[in-house]
Amino acid sequence: MADWLGWIQRLRAIGQTGIAYSLDPYDQERYQEISSLTEFMLSALLDVPPERVHDLYLGERGYPTPKVDVRAGVFRDDRILLVREASDGRWSLPGGWADEQQSPRQCVEREVQEEAGYQVRATRLVAVKDRNLHPYEPRRLEHVYKLVFLCELLGGTPAVGLETTAVDFFPLDALPELSSGRTLAEDIRLLARHHRQPDRLPEFD
């Protein structure tokens, strides 16, 4: 299934790029047909109605670019801040989709405030990760870049948000069950290394 998703991703990108940039009406028709075929292929692969595929996966127009997910590593006494996701009851680093009206720093600081109730200051970019190159599950059709930041805890009190149901700091050797579509144990180990070694350079795929 992973191979098929990758092939469909590539076809989708070809169709979407062609629709965005081709000036020839015949080419436009062909690219539109390619885009429509990807909807039917995804519908069959995922066993969902074509209209749902269109709404969930293919609403974006223009040149296809990766989505951006920001995640915060906040430490207190060598414990890391995690939030419990309302959607699956598992735990993740505070974060979410970047807002195009804000800088990456503003996005990650806002996410911590909204999801955990704490005020933080992003101090270091730790990693830029290509989600497809790591074992996040489930896989997503669109490409996602994950920006992982170390953040300094400034204040505040624990408070859940609209998408979270609990907030806590955990020892690194006693992590709860993680929401593997958002956070992997390797992400927390990565943050811990950079937290303990301030001179480490950012990592990227």
| 8 domain residue, yes or no | yes
pLDDT, average across residues 14-34:
82
* Same-domain pairing of 74 and 53: no
Check whether 60 has a pLDDT greater than 70.
no
* Same-domain pairing of 111 and 200: yes
At 56 the pLDDT is 57
Share of the chain above pLDDT 90, in %: 61
Average pLDDT, the chain: 89
Check whether 16 has a pLDDT greater than 90.
no
Element (H, E) at 69: strand 67-76
Number of domains in the chain: 2
Model confidence at 63, pLDDT cuts 50, 70, 90, reads low
* Same-domain pairing of 126 and 36: no
Say if residues 72 and 122 touch (Cβ distance below 8 Å).
yes
Task: Name the more confident of 163 and 101.
Answer: 163
At 42 the pLDDT is 79
| 122 domain residue, yes or no | yes
* Same-domain pairing of 39 and 74: no
Residue 43's domain comprises 2-57
**pTM assigned to the model:** 0.74
* Same-domain pairing of 110 and 26: no
| 72 domain residue, yes or no | yes
* Same-domain pairing of 133 and 95: yes
* Same-domain pairing of 43 and 111: no
At 99 the pLDDT is 87
Domain boundary among 12, 39, 57: 57
| 30 domain residue, yes or no | yes
At 49 the pLDDT is 77
Whole-angstrom CA distances from 115 to 81, 160, 164 are 11, 6, 6
| 198 domain residue, yes or no | yes
* Same-domain pairing of 98 and 143: yes
Task: Identify the CATH number of the domain in which residue 130 sits.
Answer: 3.90.79.10
At 26 the pLDDT is 80
* Same-domain pairing of 168 and 78: yes
pLDDT, average across residues 139-159:
93
d(CA 52, CA 59): 10
Task: Name the more confident of 51 and 117.
Answer: 117
- Cα torsion 76, 201, 84, 180 to 10°: value is -150
* Same-domain pairing of 116 and 197: yes
| 75 domain residue, yes or no | yes
| 145 domain residue, yes or no | yes
Say if residues 144 and 71 touch (Cβ distance below 8 Å).
no
d(CA 136, CA 92): 12
| 62 domain residue, yes or no | no
- One-letter amino acid for residue 100 of the chain: E
Model confidence pLDDT, tens digit, residues 66-125: 899 999 999 999 999 999 999 999 999 999 999 878 999 999 999 999 999 999 999 999
* Same-domain pairing of 50 and 77: no
d(CA 97, CA 103): 12
Q: Which residues of 111-141 are buried (b: 16+ CB within 10 A; e: fewer)?
A: bbbbbbbbebebebbbbebebbeeebeeeeb
* Same-domain pairing of 146 and 178: yes
